[in-house]
Structure formats: structure tokens, C-alpha cells
Amino acid sequence: MQATATPTSDAATRQKYYDTIAPQALAPLWEVLKGLVPPEPRSKAVPHVWQYSKVRPLLLEAGKLLTAEEAERRVLVLENPSLAGQSRITSSMYAGVQLVMPGEIAPAHKHTASALRFVLESKGGYTTVAGERTIMSRGDFVITPNGAWHDHGQEADSPIIWVDGLDLHMINFFESGFMEHHNDKKQSLTKKDEESVARYGSGLVPMTGESPFGLTSPIFNYRFEKSRAALMDIVGQGRSDAHIGYALRYANPLDGGWAMPTIATWLSQFPKGFESKDYRSTDGRTIIVVEGEVTAEIDGKKFTIGESDIAVWPAWAWGHLRADKDSIFFTFSDRAAQEKLGIWREERR
């Protein structure tokens, strides 16, 4: 019969041992195990809402302080209050609100991180990706695939404003990020405007079609007009999910998966008075209201999200939403990456 070991050391003796092994780049797992393997997730992020009515004038003020070329990207970073100084809206995602003034060009560059743009204001503003230009309108979901040259500009007489969402904290975690500046301020156009939509956006794809952007959708502007119409079709015909309402995800037409390899994006509709049941999932979500007004109660905190407001729902926090008016909202999160890693999880009450 094997004897059971009996600890004989006191705290001081153990600490002396820890001090001895530390210079050898060793650490005792038993002292840190609980922190490494928690019983369940607990996000460092907290629920929060940024009111567009307050953000917009501050962003326009920045437009008077420096040019888009000076800034390279004139953006107010949406920093989660509990993650100040880290440029994180959730623990894994970056988000900001970007401004391009009339006559400006945000210079061309490319980087490893994948980026999305959700347009809040634009009349004639454009983005160019890999030699193809698309005009941006309010509610459009625009993708900048990783490693693709991109620049933005406005030739009309009004500013363009959008929300940026990037997976750069995931890229930086793997220490695999690169960035490069273009020799010219903006790219030469090598494709017809909207060519990707014409080729891939009709519900039909080429028999031998491959995405020019690898795992990212070959469509890089999912227009709100079409997305809204598709969403309202299911509102008129189907039954809502008790936890997520009516929702459609943006899909890669070549494989039916998420439009971006690391970032999940979807569009939701709540009829006035609809209140979702309590829900939580392991992806921290950023929510942007396009139409209407939503009241959120997340992790015990209650707040209102109006049109163009931006809110964060931290990972694994219980919450629910209620539509005070007929509402449409856009959501993005790291769910796509989590699903590929086999770690995404949800709970419903």
C-alpha cells in the first residue's frame, strides 16, 4: 500500500523554495493553477455604451486639429472602461470611430489584421480595396481583408464616419502582425467599381470561383439596402428566436461560412416591444443600432442604445435586450475565431 505524502513545510520554507527556483525561470504550477484554469470565463471587459450624439462632435473637432494624412487614420478609439489604455472594446477586439473630411484621403496601407467598417454617415465616401473602389452608404458592412491594400476618401462636401472593428489583438497575441505603407497616397484602380459584387453578390458564383482574399469573402461591401430587405423578409414570414430575435449572418458566398475568418458579423431585427430571454456566450460582442432604440440589461447594468450608438456586451455576461421601437442593429464579435478553435459556447435561460 502506497503511503500518502504529508506536507512538512511551512509558508516561509515554501517561499524560500520559490525564491530559489525563480532565477532558473521556473514557477510552481500549484500556486497559479486557479488563475490559469478558472471554473468559468470572467471577462475583464464591462458593459458600456458610447452615445453617438456625444462622440460625433468630438470626432469633428479632431478633424480641425489634424489632417487624415497627418493622422494616417483619424480615429477615436472605443476603449472599454475597464481596459483603459489598451485600445480594446472587448478583451480580444479593437474598435474605433473614424472620420474622413471632404477632399481628404486616408493614405493607402496594408496590415495582417482583418478590418471591418460599419458606416454611420456617408454621402459619396469611398474605400478602395486591392484596386477596387466601392461607394459607402449608411449601414453598409465593408470588409478590408488581411494583407489587402486599402485607402479611404471623400470627394463630396460632407464628412464620412464609420465604426472600425479589427482582430489586431488576436494578431498581436500570436506576434504575427505586419504593416506596410503604399508608395502612393492612394491606389491605382485596377478593377471596375463594385466588380466583386457583380461577380459574387447575385446568389450565383463562378464554377471555379476562388476568393482573391483567401478565407475572407470575395465581397467586401455588403450593402445595407440589400441586407435590410433580406432581414425584413424573414421578419414577415418567420418566427423570431426567443433569445436573438430575427437575425441573419453575413456569409461568404463561396463556402457559406462567416464573411471574415476571425470576426463574426450579423444583422438583427427586434419588433417594438420584443424582449429577448436571458443569454450569454463566450464571445464579447459590439452592437451598433442602425434603426430604432434598444434597452439593454447586461451583467446587472441597464442602459439605452439609440440610433448610431455603440455598445459592448462582454463575454459570458448574462443579459437581454428589449426593443423600445422597431429596431435593427449590427453586431460583430470574435465568434468566428472561437468556432474554428472549437471553444465557442452559449447558454440560454
pLDDT at 40 over 60: yes
Taking residue 18's Cβ as centre, other Cβ atoms within 10 Å add up to: 12
Confirm whether 39 is domain-assigned.
Answer: no
pLDDT in tens, 46-98: 999 999 999 999 999 999 999 888 888 999 999 999 999 999 999 999 999 99
Backbone Cα Rg of the chain: 23
Confirm whether 13 is domain-assigned.
Answer: no
* Distance separating alpha carbons of residues 98 and 222, to the nearest angstrom: 19
Question: Which grid cell sits at 57?
Answer: 462632435
Confirm whether 5 is domain-assigned.
Answer: no
Nearest Cα to 315, choosing from 338, 294, 293?
Answer: 338
Confirm whether 6 is domain-assigned.
Answer: no
CB half-sphere exposure, 234, CA atoms < 13 A:
16
Confirm whether 199 is domain-assigned.
Answer: yes
SS3 243: coil
Query: For the residues 141-150, what does the mean pLDDT come to?
Result: 95
Identify any residues that bridge with 129 across adjacent strands, giving them in sequence order.
Answer: 132, 150
Total domains, the chain:
1
Full residue range of the structural domain in which residue 337 is found: 48-348
Confirm whether 340 is domain-assigned.
Answer: yes
Angle, CA 87 vertex, CA 83 and CA 92 arms, to 5°:
75
Confidence (pLDDT) at 4: 64
pLDDT at 241 over 80: yes
Candidate from 27-31, 157-161, 167-171, 186-190 with smallest mean pLDDT: 186-190
For position 137, which CATH number holds?
2.60.120.10
SS3 182: coil
Confirm whether 37 is domain-assigned.
Answer: no
* Distance separating alpha carbons of residues 349 and 199, to the nearest angstrom: 43
Cα 223 to the center of its chain, rounded Å = 17
Nearest Cα to 336, choosing from 270, 267, 272, 257?
Answer: 257
Confidence (pLDDT) at 111: 95
* Distance separating alpha carbons of residues 171 and 178, to the nearest angstrom: 9
Confidence (pLDDT) at 204: 77
Question: Which grid cell sits at 201?
Answer: 453578390
Confirm whether 25 is domain-assigned.
Answer: no
